[in-house]
Amino acid sequence: MHHPSLVASLAAATLLVPITAPAASDADIAELKTMLRSMKTDYEQRIRELERRLARAERTAAATAAATAPAHAHSEPMSAPSVTPPSPAASAPPRHASFAALTSGTAFNPQIAVILDGNYYHDGRDGDGAALVGQALQPSGGHAHDHDHTDDAAAGHTHSHGSADNGFNFREAELTFSATVDPYFDAAAYLAVTDAGDVHLEEAWLQTRNLPAGLRVKAGKFFSDFGYVNKQHPHQWEFVDQNLPYLNLLGDHGLQDKGIQITWLPTLPVYTLLGVELLQGNQEVFGATLDAAEQAELHLDDTQDGPRLWTVFAKVAPELGTQHALQFGVSYAHTDQHQEVHAHTHAGEDVVHENALAGDADLWGLDAVYKYDGTGAGGQGDVKVQAEYLRSIKDLSIASSPHPDVVGSARQFTTDGFYAQAVYGFAPNWTAGLRYDVLGPTNEVSGGTTDDFGASDRWTVNVTWKLSEFSQLRAQYAYNDILVADDERERFDAVYLQFVMSMGSHGAHAF
């Protein structure tokens, strides 16, 4: 930036030296340098002040625009949640954009939010109910590695989205940072802080902005776009806890890993998003591996180099008008390495025998989501219906066992599950929800042995009061019928009272 007065002053000072002081002393030179530094500092301070005034003016204008916007923003037809299609309308800001437009007020400052998530919980199992829900019987339910939480668990600190004790619980404080880095990248980071003060990195990724032909690349640590619910953080859930299929087939954190994602949004008459992910393979349940000490003890292979897990998915959304939105999805995931241990005893013996199994696994998913905008104030009349089906197939072989005759024999473990839920805005800022979820309509093992187990299911209802965009209170009741062992069930009630509070701003949630 050129400033005429500054340039003229410097020129005058330069010309003055040979005219008035042809033999300038060291003191004169030092004085001129001091004057020059003083003038530069003065003008730099003026420039910074002008930039601050400009930023304040832009923030004031943005606040004024937000204050004059309608109090209730109606839901809109679904648009691309993560990829902007190439079209004549591409120059307009997307309705569900993840980040705000790049301006001088936000270019170097991320959106920052702190989301508080706590609850009061009570069940008829003296507080064991929440753990039982996440340990429903499935034939491949043997333990594997615990996703780097071993030390925390030993110290009494666990980072779990599904567990709760009778009484007061604080699930997490989530710190979110999101920004448009420059014209080429968006970036975000999500940190979860537990009630014990432990900090866990949930997501930290970058995403391209301007690749051609509807392509977009995402890299870092992130929730996979497998299915529908998997990529949602707990405060986005329509119910306090996770559904049975996700919780038991994928674990507390779902498919969450380090890797790269490539999506493509082709120019078609119908919204169609296609994607593929290459992930490291560090998982809690699907694609889990044992630690090095157990691998050596049980004669299992070392954990392979990544990536060991990959997914493909497709989302399709027909155009239904301004008040309706519908999306269908299909997903598939494959892991090259899965390990687990099955413990058993024999009648009349107290000795516990362990079989170590290893192989690969596949996971299929189908999802459907429908939204209706009731046009009422505060979401009154709005309807959201969603359902998902998951099917896990693990092809394993017994790598070691106290019974040599079974070593090397194959086992296939198949478990599926589904949930269906609906949420209705029955009054301004009030919603009622109903959910039915099942684990194990197919719950069997085949191979050298054949066995079939029953299913676990539950009914859940809730009422949510959304006081504002930043706070909500929820009451939830569930009746659980959980299979905990062959022909052994636990039936119990569970009640949640939850609060979710958001301080600060963060990107809009996807469809």
Per-residue model confidence (pLDDT) at position 25: 67
What's the whole-model pTM score?
0.77
Can you tell me the distance from the alpha carbon of 483 to that of 455, in angstroms, rounded to the nearest whole number?
Answer: 7
Angle between helices 4-20 and 26-67 (to 10 degrees): 180
Can you tell me the distance from the alpha carbon of 242 to that of 133, in angstroms, rounded to the nearest whole number?
Answer: 10
Per-residue model confidence (pLDDT) at position 150: 39
Give yes or no for a contact between 195 and 178, defined as CB atoms under 8 angstroms apart. Answer: no
How high is the mean pLDDT in each 10-residue block of the chain (511 residues)? 47 44 61 67 67 71 55 39 41 42 55 95 92 91 47 42 84 94 94 94 96 96 97 96 96 94 96 97 92 92 94 96 95 96 78 89 98 94 98 95 90 96 98 98 89 95 96 98 92 97 79 76
Per-residue model confidence (pLDDT) at position 349: 73
Per-residue model confidence (pLDDT) at position 163: 72
Amino acid at residue number 399: A
Residue of 422, 397, 393 whose CA lies nearest to 408 = 397
Domain positions in the chain: 4-67, 111-338+468-504
Per-residue model confidence (pLDDT) at position 158: 45
**459 Cβ contact partners less than 8 Å away, ≥ 6 residues apart:** 434, 435, 436, 478, 479
Amino acid at residue number 134: G
Per-residue model confidence (pLDDT) at position 504: 85
Cα–Cα distance list, 97 to 205, 273, 381, 506, 507 (Å): 16, 16, 25, 11, 8
- Quote the distance between the C-alpha of residue 339 and its chain's center: 25
Per-residue model confidence (pLDDT) at position 149: 40
DSSP class per residue in 192-228: EE-TT--EEEEEEEEEES--GGGEEEEEEEEE--SSS
Per-residue model confidence (pLDDT) at position 42: 64
Amino acid at residue number 148: D
Can you tell me the distance from the alpha carbon of 112 to that of 178, in angstroms, rounded to the nearest whole number?
Answer: 7
Structure tokens at 475: 């009451």
Torsion angles phi and psi, residue 96, rounded to 5 = -120, 35
Cα–Cα distance list, 54 to 47, 59, 92, 110, 408 (Å): 11, 9, 24, 18, 72
Residue of 317, 322, 111, 293 whose CA lies nearest to 228 = 317
Per-residue model confidence (pLDDT) at position 142: 58
